[in-house]
DNA sequence: GCCGGCAAAAAAATCGATTGTCCTGAACAA
DNA sequence: TTGTTCAGGACAATCGATTTTTTTGCCGGC
């Protein structure tokens, strides 16, 4: 690393952004008058000459009211907060874009908080956010029976849970029907003739983990197949857990011929582990994931997965939140999307050639 | 989509978070006294009994000062802002984590703004951020001679440019040496015997685009090879441009045998286009990228690329920014990292087997 | 000549916290 | 007895805007 001191410009921050009071002195009117012009007060009666003078001054100085002072007086900050486990996970990247795309047109900006799955960090972030008086919170990192969510309920601040819930039906929520989705996934594997099917089951502390496992078990039972406990392995929700879980599954005397992973990232772990062990997907082991992140379509073979509208999750969450903010009421509205099966080459050899759809990111920039 | 009204709890937000004044009334002291206890005013002289009474009250009510009021009085919001093209691009995901990891331990939270590469949106975001009185801005979406950056300089607010600069040396900056990096990449291709080398060259409006192209041209010249203009194609910085650019390159009568892509995402586009045209990487076309995003190591074959410390970019940017904030001075400090070549299978067949390093994300959660 | 009525704009209160200054007793010295 | 001194808190100004309330002229009407 090269480290340069740079040219010694060394400016200090002394220039002050203009205040209403200063403008008032310049225009020889009272600050309140300017404020009304700025905010286009409907009941404002003002002499044409004065208005012109003020408007000219506003243009000249490019005056913009101090948002902090405004926030204090109006009791609204025009800031939303998003709390997620980790923005480098593509699922949350897409989710965030959905949220911002829903919030920005209405003038809101968005604070992003990563918890890394730590309840402590989640709690700390939430406390800060409430103290900051953000106008609303979108929480996508909650646990089952999450104390932080219970606390949030009592703060009487608009909030929405996304993807994961804490206590079913008690909170405003946007997500999909995880049981149905995982049943779809499992049925797909069953329909292909798989009998020994493994499940990488997330975590029992998170709703998506529990529900997707439940759907898996339901589908197995409906098909008259045994859902053997040793074939259901906790994996967390990211790649590393998928690798470990796959190693456990494939070390069994009679390993499964197919694996349903609780998320696409876990499914990526299955690919990695299979590759290390010299197994082919889907011939030696079929894999199905959940979420349909952009990466799923890029893997070779393409990852069969349960598609959920990630970006829509975000924009719907923003809608639900803004509705609460604007009406001042919290109806625990639930928006639940129906998941859909997306078949690619990780379960059906050759599917990738038929199914040429690419799930490219809309990414810009570097 | 299923849409449920939810149980009609319909609570309104009437509960008010406690204020200093209310606490003062309860403790029968003046608000200022409580404030001093909360902030552990060093020069505070207070009777033990009074202190106990106040502290008990603080614990009981879980009082936390209103951040907006505090921000107004103290002229600092403890909020930083990050402006980037698109968070769904893995490069920026990693960058953001670096920033947050650097800022959170010091008590800052971070606003995230996506511009989608639009100067208008960038300008709009910056205006809002300044009006909000964020304590500092990290800008990773700037253009060459960017009017928005020039404007930012005059706002006398702490800021740092990351990865891209606007006017070399004029602003605080964290990034890597793009010319060196792209020279490394190009020399690598040359050393493998490639003579007709194509370059997917980003955009001439962005410093990384210009500098990486310059490094490419320099390496070609140093090797006595012609850097033919028709082999240098503008591609933007994401996959779509890589696809289009590759189509143009490969449609030539004498197509290049190797391509240096300005970013890994553009290189992904090369893979996609090559695949569609039935060409193999690296046998028919060698590919090298830039940045070493996690995806690069997952592609098959693995993508040879110029490694830069993405997470470090973020944490260094946070450091530089916080230094400015805390000292109150803006030294246009430049932190420049040396890029390194990372060879994988996209240029050297078989390299993936030797080079088993995986660049997994640290992702948590869904 | 006085008053009502209205246009135009100034005043003042307020949001919630921070912080420099001032006030009140009590203890102690002269 | 009369000051001093200092501990312990109260007061008040301030940050920058918004919004309700008042004030100030000026006009016409009677």
In the predicted model, what is the mean pLDDT of chain B?
Answer: 92
Report whether B22 contacts B34 (CB < 8 A): no
Closest Cα in chain B, distance from residue A358 (Å) = 9
Ranking A137-151, A168-182, B326-340, B346-360 by mean pLDDT, the lowest is: B346-360
H helix count then E strand count, chain B: 14, 15
Q: Report residue A332's pLDDT band, with 50, 70 and 90 as the boundaries.
A: confident
A229 touches chain B (CB under 8 A): no
Nucleotide nearest to B51 (CA to C1'): D8
Residue bearing the bigger pLDDT, A361 or B61: B61
Q: Which of residues 53-92 of A touch B (CB under 8 A)?
A: 64-69, 71-72, 77-79, 84-92
Instruction: Quote the pTM value.
Output: 0.93
Residue A113, strand partner residues:
A83
- Per-residue CA distances from B61 to A125, A219, B69, B312 (Å): 19, 49, 19, 40
Residue B354 has pLDDT above 60, yes or no: no
A330 touches chain B (CB under 8 A): yes
- Percent of chain A with pLDDT strictly greater than 90: 86
Residue A359 has pLDDT above 60, yes or no: no
Tell me the mean pLDDT in the region A104-127: 98
Q: What is residue B85's predicted lDDT score, i.e. its pLDDT? A: 98
H helices of chain A, in order, are 20-27, 31-38, 48-61, 67-74, 90-103, 119-131, 147-154, 178-191, 207-222, 239-250, 264-276, 294-298, 310-327, 351-354
Q: Report residue A331's pLDDT band, with 50, 70 and 90 as the boundaries.
A: confident
pLDDT in tens, B320-347: 999 999 998 877 789 999 999 999 999 9
**C-alpha neighbours within 13 Å on the C-beta side of residue A294:** 20
Q: What is residue A81's predicted lDDT score, i.e. its pLDDT? A: 98
Nucleotide nearest to B41 (CA to C1'): C19
Q: What is residue A17's predicted lDDT score, i.e. its pLDDT? A: 74
Q: What is residue B160's predicted lDDT score, i.e. its pLDDT? A: 98
Tell me the mean pLDDT in the region B263-283: 96
Ranking A329-338, B90-99, B270-279 by mean pLDDT, the lowest is: A329-338
Dist CA A196 CA A226 (whole Å):
8
State whether B13 and A67 contact (CB < 8 Å): no
Measured in angstroms, what separates residue B44's CA from nucleotide C26's C1'? 20
Q: Which of residues 194-213 of B touch A (CB under 8 A)?
A: 208
- Percent of chain A with pLDDT strictly greater than 70: 92
């Amino acid at each position: 690393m090269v480290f340069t001191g740079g040219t010694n410009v060394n400016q200090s921050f002394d220039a002050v952004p203009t205040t209403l009071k200063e403008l008032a002195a310049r225009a020889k009117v009272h600050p309140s008058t300017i404020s009304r012009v700025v905010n286009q007060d409907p009941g404002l009666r003002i002499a044409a000459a004065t208005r012109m003078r003020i408007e000219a001054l506003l243009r000249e100085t490019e005056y913009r009211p101090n948002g902090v002072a405004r926030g204090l007086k109006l009791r609204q900050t025009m800031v939303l907060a998003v709390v997620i486990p980790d923005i480098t996970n593509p699922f949350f990247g897409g989710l965030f874009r959905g949220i911002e795309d829903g919030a920005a047109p209405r003038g809101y900006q968005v604070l992003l908080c990563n918890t890394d799955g730590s309840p402590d960090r989640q709690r700390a972030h939430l406390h800060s956010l409430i103290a900051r008086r953000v106008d609303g919170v979108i929480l996508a990192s909650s646990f089952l029976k999450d104390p932080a969510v219970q606390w949030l309920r009592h703060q009487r601040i608009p909030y929405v849970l996304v993807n994961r819930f804490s206590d079913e039906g008690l909170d405003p929520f946007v997500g999909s029907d995880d049981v149905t989705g995982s049943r779809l996934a499992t049925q797909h594997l069953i329909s292909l003739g798989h009998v020994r099917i493994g499940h990488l089951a997330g975590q029992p502390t998170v709703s998506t983990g529990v529900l997707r496992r439940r759907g898996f078990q339901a589908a197995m039972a409906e098909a008259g197949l045994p859902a053997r406990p040793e074939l259901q392995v906790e994996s967390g929700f990211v790649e590393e857990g998928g690798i470990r879980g796959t190693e456990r599954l494939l070390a069994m005397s009679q390993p499964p011929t197919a694996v349903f992973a609780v998320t696409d990232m876990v499914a990526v772990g299955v690919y990695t582990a299979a590759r290390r062990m010299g197994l082919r997907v889907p011939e030696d082991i079929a894999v199905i994931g959940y979420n349909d992140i952009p990466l799923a379509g890029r893997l070779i073979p393409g990852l069969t997965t349960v598609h959920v509208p990630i970006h829509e999750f975000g924009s719907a969450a923003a809608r639900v939140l803004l509705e609460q903010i604007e009406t001042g009421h919290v109806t625990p509205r639930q928006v639940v999307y129906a998941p859909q099966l997306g078949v690619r080459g990780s379960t059906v050899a050759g599917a990738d050639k038929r199914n040429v759809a690419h799930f490219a990111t809309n990414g810009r920039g570097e």
